[in-house]
Amino acid sequence: MLDSYTVFVYFILKENNLKKIPHPRKEDLELCSVLSALSDPVRLSIVKELLGRGECNCSFFCGFSLAKSTMSHHFKVLRESGLIMTTIKGTEYIHSVRKDELDSMFPGVLDSVLKSYDKRRK
């Protein structure tokens, strides 16, 4: 039985609980942090997948056989370095590479790294 007061309280609670995921500003991105984030094989692989697929949630990355808390950690490192952006859609977290901003700050870095990664020995 929902009276108007209950609806109001529910709305406030929802608003307060809305998760805000912090992202660094483009101008604050640091080259060393980006390189460090990319230097881990798991994360480099994530970035490659994200670039290939456009954007997607974490479920695409179960092939790593790593715990989901571990994957969450890697996504966090990528986010804090400025490599990816995360938005929440329902219960899903949608990730995408901040390609334009990265290209603007560090021209050629992402492209050359991923090109080399693609033609590595399998």
The residue ranges that bind DNA (CB under 7 A) are 14, 17-19, 36, 40, 42, 57-59, 65-77, 86, 88, 90-93
Site for a second copy in 77-116 (CB under 8 A): 105-109, 111-113, 115-116
Structure letter (DSSP) for residue 121 = -
Measured from the CB of residue 122, what is the shortest distance to a second copy in angstroms? Answer: 13
Query: How many CA atoms lie within 13 Å of 58's alpha carbon, on the beta-carbon side?
Result: 21
Instruction: Check the CA dihedral 67-70-72-75 and report its sign.
Output: negative
- Residue closer to DNA, measured from CB, 53 or 76: 76
Q: Name the amino acid, one letter, at 100.
A: D
- List phi, psi (to 5°) of 112: -65, -40
Q: Which does residue 76 touch among a second copy, DNA, none (CB within 5 to 8 A, set by kind)?
A: DNA
Tokens 């603007």 map to which residue? 104
Site for a second copy in 29-48 (CB under 8 A): 31-33, 35-36, 38-41, 44
- Residue closer to DNA, measured from CB, 51 or 71: 71
